[in-house]
Structures are given as structure tokens and as C-alpha cells.
Amino acid sequence: MKEWPTVGEMSDIGRLVLLGAPLGNPADASARFREVLATADVVAAEDTRRLTRLARDLDVTVPGRIVSYFEGNEERRTPELVEVLAAGYLVALVTDGGMPSVSDPGYRLVRAAVDAGVPVTAAPGPSAVTTALALSGLPVDRFCFEGFLPRTPGARRARLRALAAEERTLVFFEAPHRITGALADLAAAFGADRPAALCRELTKTYEEVLRRPLGELADWAAGGEPRGEITVVVAGAPAAAPERPDDDTLRAAVAAREAAGLSRRDAVTEVATEYGLRRRDVYTVVHA
């Protein structure tokens, strides 16, 4: 194994720390983020130049060795870093913004470190997913993160068709040069009136949040290619109304509740609520 500089006291086995990096504003870096940067033996960064600028903005000296860790070298670099961890070094992993491994490099290293019995922890920080959700003005009690859509139009449209009935709020990442096509396909698959929010350059100087139906967002993007990092939040599909049962089923449901001890009024109310019907209509069926 190559020689690595030791910043702190080595142990029998190292530790991997995932660092939640600022999305744009350096002031969002936590105290622990700064501490780990200043004490790690090795810092694996998605963009080493960007990390160097961030450390300078934070007035943090990084005494450990800085190595690149990005999509193009993850497969080759991961075994090297696991070897370093197994030797007792502290390794920090940082991406260009947000949490590592969330549509960013990191999953391979986390998986390999876990398999090697190396402790993995995090200095939590900013996340474009939760930030965009909070700013969107859309329901956030239940959501799902889809990351980047497929690059080719055909695969993208197929994926969106599969998601069209999803009732949870959806979160997507998209590149500026693909956002126009992606929004047009979203509007076609989900409906032009589906509420959505486009969040661009979060926490940066030119932050922009557009809360409009998908059709309007598609028209806006077609008017000029947006720039910067983009997160799109889309409202889930309306819940499907329960299928109305036939009259005999409704009578049986009311009778079963009455047999269990409910009054007819309460039994009718429960059945009406269960099937999304007006109580009056259920009464009419029961008394017919």
C-alpha cells in the first residue's frame, strides 16, 4: 500500500465520514464539516479544485491528502480507499454539494467499507432533495426521490408513464441541457395542469423557485435554456376514488356493522366514508 500522511492518531481500523457539503452558500457548512476536513487523513472529493476553493472560503486548512473520487474513477479508486481505511486512516468523502451517494459518488465506497467491516458515519448537511421539497409549496408528508431521469427520450417517457399514477410527491434532478425535453415529457405524461416547482441554483446568488403547473414550466423552459443545477418537484397523482360497490354489497356492509353493535346511523356513516359516497345515497339503498 502506498504511504499516506497521518494527521491524527491512527487506530486498528479506520473510519469513513460522509460530509454533507453546501449546495452553494459556504456559510451552510456545519462546524463538524469543518472539523472533519481539518482532521481527516484523506479527503476524497468529487472535484478537488472545488473542494480547495470551499476550504479557502471556510478558512479551513486541509492537512490530509486530497484525492479525486468521481464517477469516472469510482470503480478504480474504491479498493484503494478501502485499503486505506483498513490500515487505520480517517477518510472523509465530499461531493460538489449535498450528501454523498445521493445521485452523487459514494455508494460504492459506502458499500465496500461496510463489507470490509469499516465504521461509516456522516456529518449531515444540506440536501437539494429536502431543500427543494420544503420550498416547493407541495405536500411533503410522503414523497419519493427519482434522481436523474433516463438520458434518452424514449427511456425517459417510458419511466414517466410508469410514474404517472404515483400519489406521492416526486423529486427529480435534471441537467440544464435536458430540462426542456424533460418538462415537456412530464407535462405529457402527468398532465399539463399537474402542480410542480422548478428549483434552480438553490442557496446561490441567483436562486430561483418557479411554482407553476407542468405545462407552464415546459413553456417557460422552451423560451430559453435554463442554467445551473435544477431540482424539479411534482405533485403526486390525485388518489383514485374507491370503486362503488353494488347495492347488495352496500346493504350487506351496513347489516354487518349493525350486527356488530353499531346503530344504523353509524353503520351507514362508516360505509359511506369507506366507499367515498354520500350518506344520503347509502340510506336510500338500505331502505329501498
Total domains in the fold of the chain: 3
Average pLDDT over residues 28-53: 96
pLDDT tens string 45-64:
999 999 999 999 999 999 99
198 and 276 housed in the same domain = no
Q: Are 82 and 109 in contact (CB under 8 A)?
A: yes
> For the residues 97-119, what does the mean pLDDT come to?
94
**Model-wide pTM > 0.85:** no
Q: What gap in Å lies between CA 11 and CA 5, rounded to an integer? A: 14
Query: Looking at residue 178, which CATH number applies to its domain?
Result: 3.30.950.10
66: domain CATH number? 3.40.1010.10
Give the confidence band of 6 by pLDDT, cuts at 50, 70, 90: low
Same domain for 93 and 166: no
For residue 1, the model assigns a pLDDT of: 46
Task: Give yes or no: residues 80 and 19 share one domain.
Answer: yes
In a domain, 43, yes or no: yes
The total number of residues shown for the chain amounts to 288
Q: CA–CA separation, 163 vs 90, rounded Å?
A: 41
- Residue 254's domain comprises 247-287
pLDDT band at 135 (very low <50, low <70, confident <90, very high): very high
Closest CA to 100 of 44, 37, 32: 44
Q: What is the pLDDT of residues 178-236, one digit of tens each?
A: 999 999 999 999 999 999 999 999 999 999 999 999 999 999 999 887 889 999 999 99
Q: Would 9 be classed as within a structural domain?
A: no
